[in-house]
Amino acid sequence: MTEVNTLPSHRILIAKPGLDGHDRGAKIIVRALRDAGFEVIYTGIRQTPEMIARTALQEDVEAVGLSLLSGAHMTLFPRVVDLMKKQGLGGVLVFGGGIIPDEDVAALKKKGVAGVFGPGTPTDAIVAFLRERLDAAPKAAKGSRAKR
């Protein structure tokens, strides 16, 4: 058994709420985040907000990325945010992507979706967003990122 000194990296959950089965975008994000040094958990397609919130709790992730192409983002994204808050996961960063009309972005941000990344976003921009938000959290506070 050999061992190298690898520091823990940020844990991110990528989830596909709702009924659309198109997860090429989600897979690209999973791959890009993995290659950027994150530990990435992927739920697979067709998840309910309840399943996503429960998974975020069990996996104790620092961020949840939601991908949706069906148009139900205004219902499902805030529902995930609310369920997470109810479980004491209000400190977990939620971001989203997919086919999101520009005019919905401000409303989503108001409802707790911290970043929205549409088609054509360079994956580097998402990595930079996560690094900025997650690296900034002081190590001591990391253990209490979920206030519980």
Partner 1 sequence: MPSAKDVRELAARVRRGDRAAAARALSIVTEERPGHEALAGAFFSDHGASHTVGLCGSPGSGKSSLVNRLVTRLRAAGETVGVLAVDPTSAFTGGAFLGDRMRFQAHSLDDGVFMRSLATRGMMGGLNATIFAAIHVLEACGFSKVLVETVGTGQDEVDVAEVVDTVVCVSAPYQGDEFQAMKAGTMEIGDVFAVNKADLPEVERAVAMLKDALSLNPLHDGGWAPRIAPVSALTGKGVAELAADIDAHRAHLASSGELESRRRRQLRRELSLVLSRRLYRDAMARVTDRHIDLLAAKKSSPQSLGGTLLAGRK
Contacts of 22 (CB under 8 A, 6+ apart): 69
- According to the binding rule CB under 8 A, does residue 123 interact with partner 1? no
Binding mask 30-69 for partner 1 (x = CB under 8 A): xx-xxxxxxxxxxxx--xx-xx--xx-xxxx---------
Q: Report how far residue 21's alpha carbon sits from residue 126's, in angstroms, rounded to the nearest whole number.
A: 22
- According to the binding rule CB under 8 A, does residue 84 interact with partner 1? no
- According to the binding rule CB under 8 A, does residue 138 interact with partner 1? no
Contacts of 56 (CB under 8 A, 6+ apart): 13, 64, 84, 87, 89, 92
- According to the binding rule CB under 8 A, does residue 3 interact with partner 1? yes
Contacts of 119 (CB under 8 A, 6+ apart): 25, 99
- According to the binding rule CB under 8 A, does residue 142 interact with partner 1? yes
Q: Report how far residue 125's alpha carbon sits from residue 129's, in angstroms, rounded to the nearest whole number.
A: 6
- According to the binding rule CB under 8 A, does residue 136 interact with partner 1? no
Short-list 31, 27, 32, 62, CA closest to 43: 27
Judged by beta carbon, residue 56 or residue 108, the one nearer partner 1 is 56
Please count the residues of this chain forming the interface with partner 1, following the rule CB under 8 A.
Answer: 41
Contacts of 70 (CB under 8 A, 6+ apart): 18, 19, 20
Radius of gyration of the chain (CA): 15
Q: In the bound complex, what is the minimum distance in angstroms from residue 107's beta carbon to partner 1?
A: 28
- According to the binding rule CB under 8 A, does residue 6 interact with partner 1? yes
Judged by beta carbon, residue 65 or residue 108, the one nearer partner 1 is 65
Q: Where on the chain is the footprint of partner 1 (CB under 8 A)?
A: 1-9, 30-31, 33-44, 47-48, 50-51, 54-55, 57-60, 87-88, 139-140, 142-143, 146, 148
